[in-house]
Structure 1
């Protein structure tokens, strides 16, 4: 499966001058919502992630997605695994499990995002699950930004990856783009454009 081609065909691999959720700048941006607006793509990609999880032998009871970006990917993965789908959402800035969702003590949960960058939002969702007594057994995403090490990849874990080293991380492709501190951004220094933020936060 050529995941990069799927993103490019969906106009989801953007090139320009972008401000990321971390505050850093990049010339490239992955907009998974454009891929997932086509149910066929969502099904195809989620089934590929599900196959990795099944082959690993990991036992999963529930898929939890951090809202908003992970909702479609999480539901599609839960469908492919034939498991329950829930989500975590921010309330007053804190990731929370609400809307009547319950997590049993010891329930085995995999956290699913559309894209994992450093894994910060995924870890916030994991903390919300663990606070209710659930057991986070792994992490999943359609795409990996290359800061965390995923299963079946040669890309090494970077120091700013927040996912635990002892938990498996499943994803389909590594998208390793340069990121810059705003003060060091060559695109800013050129002065030809202003960084925009096309993601789910801040617009």
Structure 2
């Protein structure tokens, strides 16, 4: 599957000067919401992601996503796997299960994001699930930014990756872009001002 083509066709691979949630800057940004706004495409991508997970032989009872960005991808993955879907959300800065969602002690859970960068939000959701008794058996995403090592990728794990070593990550492809801190950002040096993704119509 050429997932990059899906992003390009949806005008979801943006070029500019972006301020990422990590505080770093990048010339490129993946806007997965633009890809997932087409339900047919969302279904196709989720079915392919589910196939990878099934081939690995992992038993799954539930998919959980951190709100807000992972909800569409996670819901479609749960539908493709034929399991229930829940999501976590931050309350006073802490990832929490709300809205009547619950996990059984025996539930095996996949944490799904639209994009995995360092995996920080996914890890927060995983810890939330584990404190309620569930077992996190895998992480999943449509796209992997190359910091964490996914199943079937030749890229090596980087120090910035926050996901556990012993739990597999499934994604449809790696998207590797240069990332800069503000002090070393060449775009800032040229006088450009970084915008936060999601603003100015992005």
Q: State whether TM-score is above 0.5.
A: yes
Aligned to 1:73: 73
TM-score, normalised to structure 1's length? 0.97
Give unmatched runs, 5+ long, in structure 1: none
Is 2:16 the counterpart of 1:10? no
**CA deviations over 1:71-125 (Å, ceiling 9, x no partner):** 0000000000000000000111111001000111121000000000000000000
1:175 paired residue number: 175
Map 1:29-68 onto structure 2 (within 5 A): 29-68=29-68
Q: How is 1:66-105 mapped onto 2 (pairs within 5 angstroms)?
A: 66-105=66-105
Whole-Å Cα distance in 1 between the matches of residues 62 and 142 of structure 2? Answer: 17
Query: Is the Cα contact below 8 Å between 1:141 and 1:172 reproduced in 2?
Result: yes
Q: Counterparts of 1:187-198 in structure 2 under 5 Å? A: 187-191=187-191, 193-198=192-197
Deviation at 1:199, TM superposition (A): 4.3
- CA–CA distance in structure 2, aligned partners of residues 106 and 161 of structure 1: 28
Q: What does residue range 118-197 of structure 1 map to in structure 2 within 5 Å? A: 118-191=118-191, 193-197=192-196
Q: 1:199 to 1:119 in 2, by over 3 A?
A: farther
Q: Using the alignment, how far apart are the partners of 1:30 and 1:199 within structure 2?
A: 11
Structure 2 gaps of 5+ residues are none
TM-score after normalising by structure 2: 0.97
Query: For 1:146-175, what per-residue CA distance to the aligned partner results, in whole angstroms no more than 9, with x for missing partners?
Result: 000000110110001001111010000100
Distance in 2 (alpha carbons) for counterparts of 1:186 and 1:106: 50
Q: Is the 8 A contact 1:21 1:199 kept in 2?
A: no
- Distance, in Å, in 2 between the alignment partners of 1:168 and 1:106 is 19
Q: Tell me the CA shift for residue 198 of structure 1.
A: 1.1
- How well do the aligned residues superpose, as a CA RMSD in angstroms? 1.1
Partners in 1 of 2:194 and 2:44 — Cα distance?
A: 32
Q: List 4+ stretches of structure 1 deviating above 3 A.
A: none
Show the counterpart of 1:113: 113
Tell me the distance in 1 between the aligned counterparts of 2:101 and 2:65: 12
